[in-house]
Amino acid sequence: MKVAIGRRLALESSRLGLTGTEAAAGIGCSRRTWCYYEAGQSCPDAVALARLDKLGFDVLYVITGRRSKAL
C-alpha cells in the first residue's frame, strides 16, 4: 500500500512539473523525507496531505488511486 502511494506521489509531482526537492519544500519536509514517501518507506501525514492539496496534488488519487472529478 505504501509503495502505491509513493508511486502516485511521484506521478503527481511529475504531472505538476515539480521536482522532488520542490515538492518537499512546498510541504515543508526534507528531501530525504520526500524520498521515503516516494519509496513507500513512510507515508505523508494529514498535515502533509493538506499541504499537497494546496500545491495542486490530487490527494484523493494519491490515497486511493481514483482521480478526483475536478481534475
Residue 29: φ, ψ to 5°: -120, 170
pTM (predicted TM-score):
0.89
Per-residue pLDDT of the chain (71 residues; tens, 9 = 90+): 678 999 999 999 999 999 999 999 999 999 999 999 999 999 999 999 999 999 999 999 999 999 988 66
Largest pairwise CA distance in the chain = 32
In the numeric block, which cell numbers belong to residue 69? 472529478
Q: What share of the chain is helix, strand, coil (3-state, %, to 5)?
A: 65, 0, 35
pLDDT at 28: 96
